[in-house]
Amino acid sequence: MPANYVVKKVWYAHLTGQAVSDAVVSSKGPAVGELGFHPAELQVVSWDSIAERWNVIFDAQKSRELQQQYETTISNEYVTFPPDLAQGPTPILDRTADGDVNQVAFARFGSEKNADLVFTTTQSYGGSGVPGNLVVVGFKGGEADVLYLWFGDGGAGFRVVGSGSNQALAASAQFWTPVDAHCCPVRSYSFVVGSGAEQGITSLRDNRPWLGLFVKAERETDESSPVRVVGVVPGSPAAALFRKGDVITSLAGAKASGNQGLLGPALIDQIALLKAGATASFSVERGSVTTTVTVKLGSLIDPSAQSASPPNDLSVYAI
């Protein structure tokens, strides 16, 4: 273990196919800096029967896989621009942060003989943000490989579902839309991580809704403002039903968001409170005519959502 770290917990599992079980070790470091942070650590060690010693084959603090979910709708973003990232890869556990390893479990995805390691982390930098990861690591051939990496504010929780060699992760996290202040997510959402047909381990289901529009508030800081359609995403649920220039004035049977941290129209949160697959009816002004548009909502993991490219305008929202 790293110098001065204290072992918190040890799990044993057959990850590499060796006769001797591999060990997964979480540990916690001493207080450092003015804020007294305690960096977390997670390591996997495997027994080398030839050299007769334990070798570290995975170290979460030294793994520098890019957090690619920042650039997709699988992350805790709502089809918006990726935040400015420092050049180069980002570690899963940051040595400058107060970190915790929250959950550790083992799951078999698809036809894999050995289990993969699944774990979650959260990190704090002394402010209000608590970013976290949900990570799946495989050890095929004895080499560690990050197979799936989710990143989002607040972190995520999960449970292993299914049995045998066809398991999945039922996960949940907090959901913010672009009109929500950092204090106030609109709701929690659920997603399922499992083995995709051709995509490896990926998000199979996500209950955040996707309409497929780029909209702009008629009155930016007014919660009751209608929104004007400034773009329609090809292949999305909205593609054949909405037109550029439509003004959405209301959502039939909308739930009140109850969000005290709104930075824009409540209509954005009202849509977000619906689940993927739900049917929604909108009152729409199209020129001088008011009409009702009914659409079955998609999910934020739909291909049209992941490929959506919003205009370079922070006042434009994707819904």
pLDDT at position 151 over 90: no
- Give tens-digit pLDDT for 285-297: 999 999 999 999 9
Query: Which pLDDT score is estimated for 111?
Result: 74
Mean pLDDT value across residues 164-178: 91
By the 8 A CB rule, do 183 and 193 touch? no
Cα–Cα nearest to 173, from 155, 159, 160:
155
Q: Which helix (H) or strand (E) holds 270?
A: helix 266-272
Q: Give the lowest-confidence range in 66-80, 132-146, 298-312.
A: 66-80
Domain boundaries, the chain: 6-206, 209-318
pLDDT at position 75 over 60: no
> What percent of the chain lies above the pLDDT cut of 70?
89
- Judged by DSSP in three states, 138 sits in strand
The CATH number of 209-318, from 1.20.120.80, 3.90.650.10, 2.30.300.10, 2.30.42.10, is 2.30.42.10
By the 8 A CB rule, do 270 and 257 touch? yes
Query: Which pLDDT score is estimated for 69?
Result: 40
CA torsion 151-146-79-152 (nearest 10°) is 0
- Side chain identity at residue 147, one-letter code: L
pTM greater than 0.95 (yes/no): no
